[in-house]
Amino acid sequence: MVKENCGVVGIFSRDGTNVIPMVIDALRALQHRGQEAWGIAIPKKAPIKRLGLVSGASGEYQKITEEYASPAAIGHVRYSTVGKSNLENAQPLKVKDLCIAHNGTIANVAELANLVGGCTFTPQNASDTLVAAQRLVSLMSTNGKLGSALSILKNEMAGSYCFTFVSDDNAVYAARDPRGFRPMVLGSKEDGQVTIVASESSALTAIGAKLVRDVLPGELLKFSNSGMESEMFSEEKKHAHCSFEFTYFAHPTSRMEGTNIYVARKRIGQFLARKFPIKDADLVIPVPDSARPAALGYAQELGIQFDEGLLKDRYSKKGPLRSFIEPHQSDRVEINRWIIPITEIIAGMHVVVIDDSLVRGTSSKAIIKALRRAGARKISMLITYPPIKYPCYAGIDFPSQDELATGVIGDGVTDEQVIDKIRRDIGADFLGYNDAENLANAVGIPLDSMCFTCTSGDYSTLGIKPIFKSREEMKGE
């Protein structure tokens, strides 16, 4: 199965302004959501797609802006999890007169592919986005409008999705899945002449737009010269907002479900301090960068010194990138090599290291080794996210169970035994994980409105019963 968690944007200008420069800037502001490929689509043209970072094509910006000049456009940054890193899998995709960009995962993609004639689907030559687009276009040919098609497709499709579309009749659309797994926000600028939808509000800030509100779960928006139209294609009362967005994935400046991400992370650190008050510690340090606000909140709550004991080398080739969303283990190791300890801060200290999550254990093991070499006397590691025990089928690359640090947990094995095994594997003196209830309380969203499937193994909100496979089986190798 091809799974992706990415970033999407859609912009429409009623006064005819060329929105391509804004799309490029918005995609750069969403780069933390995908580092492998990016693309832009406008009406009546094949999408333009490039591998690598958006900034890597800076020499082409003027040419792209002129050749793709349009008042209606969508864009996409891609982080793949199983699909190959090539332009064929990059987005947006075009099917007939509709271009589509997708953030999320369609969990029953093989079943859906059967509804569009099989579409010769394999992880190497197609994506769940393509299957969804083909089905949508097919439904629109018999049902007319996109909203009617989505109201049918939502019953056929299991998974998470935020879609942006641009049609050949110069309209931009955006749709968010009925559970609200993945985030999506609405913004405007130029006194409402320009309307924007994006995965996060950080993209709005980058182009000088104001956040209007979250796109509602189950809502379809249309932007055209007639203005903005909204309709609900689904009225699902039970939501399942991705909890991992709040600890790691989202940009700290973004506002999501009414909560600023930086403030939420700082509160997570404060609540973590109440759960694990390590009062004999000398120093609290974050694993850069996303754990910084939580580490600060933890230190302030207990009155322990906070400092930057680990720094990323931003001048190395891989240093500025995010290791979690790199698809290859060799690249993740390379990025973590450039997280460098400051011996003068760490030597002789009992250090509390705060990290946002522990997925494979690759980063944690490398960081603890580096802190030992720098002379740390004792290392306690605290994780702001609960233990990840199951793969994610809602758009985050939590790998197959055999790749997770928790491994495949057998019957009769307690959480304490699992955590102690991980502690020994990574070399920490103490290891403590947050729990789902504590995290939800810190964020300020009811526990039953957040998705914690990767920690609980309860896939009922997704409507699936997955058959767990190894990474090799998922790739079809």
Residues forming the active site: 6
How many Å from the N-terminal Cα to the C-terminal Cα in the chain? 12
SS3 115: coil
Q: Which helix (H) or strand (E) holds 424?
A: helix 415-426
Cα distances (Å, whole numbers) of residue 240 to 40, 362, 397, 426, 462: 29, 29, 17, 32, 9
Positive or negative, the CA dihedral 12, 16, 19, 22 is negative
Count of alpha carbons within 13 angstroms of residue 72, beta-carbon side: 24
Round to whole Å and give the CA distance between 324 and 33: 11
Which of 290-308 are b and which e, b meaning 16 or more Cβ less than 10 Å from the residue's Cβ?
bbbbbbbbbbebbebebbe
Distance of alpha carbon 453 from the chain centroid:
15
The rounded distance, in Å, linking the Cα atoms of 74 and 173 is 9
Between CA 304 and CA 309 the distance in angstroms is 14
Q: Which residues contact 345 (CB under 8 A, 6 or more apart)?
A: 283, 285, 307, 308, 309
What is the SS3 assignment for 355? strand
86-89: which pairs have CB atoms within 8 A and are 24 or more residues apart?
86/51, 87/37, 87/49, 87/50, 87/51, 88/125, 89/2, 89/37, 89/127
CA distance 77 to 4: 10
Q: Could you tell me which residues come within 8 angstroms of residue 69 by beta carbon, excluding any fewer than 6 positions away?
A: 18, 20
98 and 137 Cβ atoms separated by less than 8 Å: yes
Determine the Cα–Cα distance for residues 322 and 51; give it in Å rounded to an integer.
16
Give the C-alpha separation, 332 to 73, whole Å: 33
Residue 4 has what DSSP assignment? B
Residue 449, SS3 per DSSP:
helix
Handedness of CA 455, 458, 460, 462 (dihedral sign): positive
